[in-house]
Structure 1
Amino acid sequence: MTKFIEWLIEFQRRKPILFFALLFSFLGWGMYVALQSEIEAFPELTNVQVQVITQYPGKASEEVERKITVPLEVATNGLPGLMNQRSLSIFGLSVITLTFEDKVESKQARIDVAQRLNDAELPEGVKASLSPDSTPLGEIFRYTLKGDLPVDEMRLIEDWRLEREFKSIPGVADVVSFGGPVRTIEVKLDIPRLKAFGLSVSSVAQALGQNHANAGGSIIRHGDESYIVRSIGLYESPESLVQAVVATQKGIPIRIRDLGSVHFGTQPRLGQVAFNGNDDVVEGIILMRKGADTVETCEQIREKIAKLNDSVLPKGVQVIPYYDRTDLIERSSHTVFHNVIMGIFLVCVVLILGLGLAYWPISLGVAAIIPFALMIAFVGMRWAGYAPNLISLGAVDFGIIVETAIFAAEAVIVAIAARGSKQPPVVKQSIAEVLQPAFLCALLLLIAFVPILSLQQVEGRIFKPLGITLISALLGGQLGALIFVPLAAAFLPAQAGADKTEHFFAWILMRCEIAVRSLINTPALFAKSVVFFLVVLGLLVWGLGREFLPQFNEGSLYIRTTAPQTIAREASVALAKRIHDRLKTIPEVVDTVSQVGRPDDGTDVNGFDNIETLVSLKDPHDWQSARTIDGFVALAQNALKDIAGVSFNFSQPIKDNVDEAVRGSKGSLWSSYSGRTSRSSRDSPVRSRRSSGLSRELMTWETNSCWASRNFASP
């Protein structure tokens, strides 16, 4: 090892052109990889999951469970790599969540599930579909529509224009449209007229379905020209539907106008969205495709919105974004770069104070290893197939990274001071003598990080990127010591006397020696000091608490309100309005968006008893009422405490999605119990009292919220 280190240092001196060409080529490649890497605010925690969504309109949860959920569970059971299967059946909707092992690729899992769906025997006209190819972290962009048009026309624009435009972006998996009534054309039949013509509702519906199509004909030749013949049968407006023929009697056509009337209507509302006090708006939630680049996709979405607002949408209609994941990523990147700059600054200050101002070149050389090691960490993450995140980058210890370089720098300074020369053999020998044991220490640290790479499932997805980052950065620190310390040594002075910083540290060391001698000479004082520090350390550890995953500041609140399960949509919308009015009393609140119920595509399993409110806050630098997210949770709790009969759960947008995907629940800690159907009605009051008692007991803990609810769905 010593000979190799000496050879590498000699190679730098004898062939500088080749060495710097290799160095700058490597630095350029590393910078390219680092700049192309997306820094994620939150690591991807969820397993490989595929949801099977089936809508069965108008049917109770028991019918949905028996006719839809059970056949689909039987069909999908036993899939390769399947770990867990859970389902939920509510009014008109069945959702089955299939969780696979980590070794199963997401695309292969979706293919296997799609093939098995063909084996399920479902009622006629019912079709099961897969959830979008996204993850709980995929909700990267949200917007609402603003304009003077009626809300049902705004929903038409969302469904027929905006969804198609956004889905044309490569990184977009799907667009979830929420809010606004879905327009329909309704035929209102007069029953006495039907009976007079001897027709039934089913026969009229069948005739309308068969006639709603264009038919192709042949070609008619007329002289030297030919004409294509086709029959136009598609209904394009209520006027065309009024003229539709549904039967004939004695050669006389019977049209819809003879049996009733046609007018515009809407589908039964399953959900509603309120934005800043406007009780009924149309919202779009853009889901990013799994594996796509968040920053690039959001940029393309913003460009698409600018184009839509300028030239595509009707006059007066605008797309108004209110949630953009790029804001969070930019804040995260700013945090990382701020830490790097501060680390470099502190290392420079400490080294200059410790080594002396005369040796500032080698202090800068050691400090340059920090960004170099981080660049190696980005390369290692890219090679391993992970994206850097705040947990992995925040765990990098700058002291460990530059430890080897500090040993080498100190050895060079001592050798030059002792021999009065900075000739290459002196520098080479001093560095080689120190780096071999220093590399051994670094190897022991690397071995300690290896077990992290063996973690699986959620733990592995959190800590594997952290382990790869630490190992890569530590390797970068060792490589940087071989490169930058010999280069910096060439700029050191051959002779340097002691300066003020050395006298300062010498004074500190002298005082420390006096204190240690005093403790050694006074055993009783030494024992009391040890006991005192152990007690203080124990109290600090006791009060720190333990957390599996640190809480991130996403800059927004996500409040889930649980109302009585029999609440009507209109009452739930009024409750959402009250929540908005209370939250707007907090000065830092910018926007509030409340989602009542669920979207029409079945991607969320909620009823009108569920209200989800996204509260957008000002930039954290402008916070005055509170300095932390927990502080704003306390302010929101205080603002909403007078609303009786409901329960609140306070979280953040990404955290709420991850909790629900990982645990299948709408909270960080969740427990459930169930009984047989034959006893549920008799025991429900007893179980409700037990739930309330358990909730009161848990609320004595340090929690944001805790509530008991009774689930009328079929799990």
Structure 2
Amino acid sequence: MVTVVFKEGVDIYLARQLVFERLQAAREEIPNGIGAPAMGPNTSGLGQIFQYMLRTDDKQKFNTMELRSLNDWVVKLLLMPIDGVTEVLAFGGNVKQYQVQLDPDKLLSYQLHTQDVVQAIEDSNHNAGGWYLNRGAEQLVIRGVGWVRGGENGLRDIANVAIKDEDGVVVRVSDVASVKYGSEIRQGAVSITLRDEAGKPKQMGEVVTGIIMKRMGANTKSTIDAINKRLPIIQNALPEGVVIEAFYDQASLVDKAVSTVTKALVEAFVLIVVVLIFFLMNLRAATLVLLSVPISIVLALMAMSYWKISANLMSLGGLAIAIGMMVDGSVVMMENIFKHLSNHDEKSNPGGVRLRILEASREVGRPVFFAVLIIIVVFAPLFTLEGVEGKLFQPMAISIVLAMMASLMVALMVVPALSTYLFTKGVEHKSTRALDFIDNSYKKILNIALNTRKNVVLIAVILFIGSLSLLPFLGTEFVPELEEGTINVRVTLAPSSSLETSFEVAQKLERILMEFPEVMYASSRIGRAEIGGDPEPVSNVEIYLGLKPLDEWTSANNRFELQKLMQEKMSLHPGLLFTFSQPIATRVDELLSGVKAQLAIKLFGPD
């Protein structure tokens, strides 16, 4: 597999067109029989968003070859039209073939070569054009279709192909070979172990799975929702006894991440409500300030929708960060308006109140503008990031900037305008013992600080130096690791291991892993698929473990403790190398370093 890396910002379709043109030129220079180069699907390293399996309890009627045929010719054809799906990668099972098994002795007796048989079969299945035929007012296209029929008829059609005519006797394929069904030579397989209704592990043996790959730029959640809607239709199209079942999708992780950020937004909003009501001591003033939060968020989301910025983890996280800053301008504006109105006679006419609000808005309008502008400028460097860093942090910076710009508009225009309706008369400033205590305490502390300025500066410098000395002990990482709810165990066997050996080891490891009550299923992918995907050898096994929610765990308190316990149990099998990660984390590591691990060592030499 060859990976071509383009500069940041190059259109993906232009890049694919350029690669396609070069592949056409390279195709002519590759010797016959070596193979033809082809491009992979239009997806990213994180494009494997959904996985399903085909299983059956009637293994006599539906073997792995039949399941694979159903996947390739029924399931895949129903999934490909879904918007956002670029490829369905089949994994596991046997690809059905019409196999012509030659008898060398009979070839010698008829003085034939293998190429004679190959050429005869190819020539018997060609399409030929027959020009045009006029029929009334229509023009019909005439063509001859060399179509070998399907099923048992196809076997007979191939067996009856004539190879040559010798002394008036036609030599057919059936005279020098046997024609039967067979399976393509494979370098991969899939097994899975589930829990039954009683919660006991049940090994399903070898199954056929499909990996749905998302088109680059498509929305993950929308694509998965469309796939889930299509599954009942696919189930109705499958024969009785065959079940399609999803066992991995990224929608749960997306929902969890969005739910976490949404929860943070709600909690921050509630805290803002409490603080504003406590300090302003006026319900109308607090309500007016609070209105700036939803209005600013709605305006920011409208701008994000206009510029095609999705509500992902980083962009929503940016809104969560900005929610506290969104009310700053409105609080300053409202406090100044409140101050002017509280000093005004309540019996004055409404026109006087509006003039007071206008005067208060003009006083703090410029400071509010520059204060918000400074916050926006602070996040400006994030727009200069390139590569992976830019992809990660620019959505957050954009959402923060949009939210702050919206909050600035609300503070300068909406808050003063609504104040003229909510405060038609002057207001009375209210005070409480708690606020008086805070105010008096602050005055005392301020006087002490002003009288001991040198000590204050010295303490600040010592704290700053002390904080810098703690930096080496904090540790660093590119991004915090998410809890995906799925563990990916990479098992490496001896390089000379066969597919059958790796499959047996995978099933033994599945039984061990399913002993942990936290594991809902264990699915092993051995080797690689026939087309596309990761070019792994058969000595590589990747086990996907679906986990229960953390609050239902009993064996360990966190994922790292659970991984340690799993490794201790699996280490009873000698000669195996285990690497623990998570599906998305593994892909991120591969995108950053080209290796599916957090630590990679590369050796270089002159020869």
TM-score normalised to structure 1 length: 0.74
Residue by residue, what CA displacement relative to the aligned partner does 1:320-378 show, whole Å, maximum 9, x if unpaired? 0111222222222212221221121110101111111xx11221222222222222332
Equivalent residues, number: 573
Matched, 1:463 2:393: yes
Distance 1:636 1:343 in 2: 39
Going from structure 1 to structure 2, the CA distance change for 1:364 and 1:637 (only over 3 Å counts) comes to farther
Which residue pairs with 2:37 in the alignment? Answer: 128
SS in 2 for 1:613: strand
Residue by residue, what CA displacement relative to the aligned partner does 1:281-332 show, whole Å, maximum 9, x if unpaired? 101011111122222222221222111112x111111210111222222222
Going from structure 1 to structure 2, the CA distance change for 1:635 and 1:389 (only over 3 Å counts) comes to farther
What is the identity, as a one-letter code, of the residue corresponding to 1:118? Answer: Q
Residue by residue, what CA displacement relative to the aligned partner does 1:127-149 show, whole Å, maximum 9, x if unpaired? 11111011122212110001221
What is the identity, as a one-letter code, of the residue corresponding to 1:197? Answer: Y
Which residue pairs with 2:14 in the alignment? Answer: 108
Matched, 1:283 2:214: no
Matched, 1:242 2:167: no
Moved more, 424-433 or 371-380: 371-380
Matched, 1:390 2:304: no
Pairwise mapping of residues 521-670 of structure 1 onto structure 2 (< 5 A)? Answer: 537=467, 541-620=471-550, 622-623=552-553, 625-626=555-556, 628-670=558-600
Matched, 1:162 2:75: yes
Matched, 1:209 2:122: yes
Which residue pairs with 2:137 in the alignment? Answer: none
SS in 2 for 1:614: strand
Distance 1:243 1:606 in 2: 40
Going from structure 1 to structure 2, the CA distance change for 1:512 and 1:632 (only over 3 Å counts) comes to farther
Residue by residue, what CA displacement relative to the aligned partner does 1:579-633 show, whole Å, maximum 9, x if unpaired? 2222222322112211100010033111012111221122455455555544544
Matched, 1:491 2:412: no
Distance 1:413 1:582 in 2: 68
Going from structure 1 to structure 2, the CA distance change for 1:116 and 1:524 (only over 3 Å counts) comes to closer
Going from structure 1 to structure 2, the CA distance change for 1:515 and 1:586 (only over 3 Å counts) comes to farther
What is the identity, as a one-letter code, of the residue corresponding to 2:329? Answer: T
Which residue pairs with 2:228 in the alignment? Answer: 302
Which residue pairs with 1:689 in the alignment? Answer: none
Percent same amino acid among aligned pairs?
A: 28
Going from structure 1 to structure 2, the CA distance change for 1:578 and 1:527 (only over 3 Å counts) comes to farther
Contact 1:235/1:241 (<8 A) preserved: no
Distance 1:193 1:266 in 2: 24
Matched, 1:187 2:137: no
SS in 2 for 1:97: coil
Contact 1:362/1:489 (<8 A) preserved: no
What is the identity, as a one-letter code, of the residue corresponding to 1:381? Answer: M
SS in 1 for 2:422: coil
Which residue pairs with 1:361 in the alignment? Answer: 284
SS in 2 for 1:175: strand
Matched, 1:198 2:148: no
CA RMSD of aligned residues (A): 3.0
Residue by residue, what CA displacement relative to the aligned partner does 1:81-101 show, whole Å, maximum 9, x if unpaired? xxxxxxxxxxxxxx1100001
Distance 2:438 2:12 in 1: 60
SS in 1 for 2:25: coil
Deviation at 1:274, TM superposition (A): 1.0
Which residue pairs with 1:83 in the alignment? Answer: none
What is the identity, as a one-letter code, of the residue corresponding to 1:193? Answer: K
Going from structure 1 to structure 2, the CA distance change for 1:441 and 1:97 (only over 3 Å counts) comes to same
Distance 1:231 1:287 in 2: 34
Contact 1:454/1:460 (<8 A) preserved: yes
Which residue pairs with 2:242 in the alignment? Answer: 317
Distance 1:379 1:477 in 2: 14
Which residue pairs with 1:44 in the alignment? Answer: none
Residue by residue, what CA displacement relative to the aligned partner does 1:7-56 show, whole Å, maximum 9, x if unpaired? xxxxxxxxxxxxxxxxxxxxxxxxxxxxxxxxxxxxxxxxxxxxxxxxxx
TM-score normalised to structure 2 length: 0.87
Distance 2:16 2:92 in 1: 29
Residue by residue, what CA displacement relative to the aligned partner does 1:550-584 show, whole Å, maximum 9, x if unpaired? 22222211222222211111111122123222222
- Structure 1 unpaired stretches of 5+: 1-94, 221-225, 678-715
Which residue pairs with 1:35 in the alignment? Answer: none
Which residue pairs with 1:9 in the alignment? Answer: none
What is the identity, as a one-letter code, of the residue corresponding to 1:612? Answer: E
Contact 1:366/1:484 (<8 A) preserved: no
Residue by residue, what CA displacement relative to the aligned partner does 1:159-198 show, whole Å, maximum 9, x if unpaired? 1121111112232101100001112222222222221221
Deviation at 1:676, TM superposition (A): 5.8
SS in 2 for 1:272: strand
Select the residue among 194, 200, 218 that pairs with 1:292. 218
Contact 2:188/2:529 (<8 A) preserved: yes
Going from structure 1 to structure 2, the CA distance change for 1:662 and 1:342 (only over 3 Å counts) comes to same
Which residue pairs with 1:97 in the alignment? Answer: 3
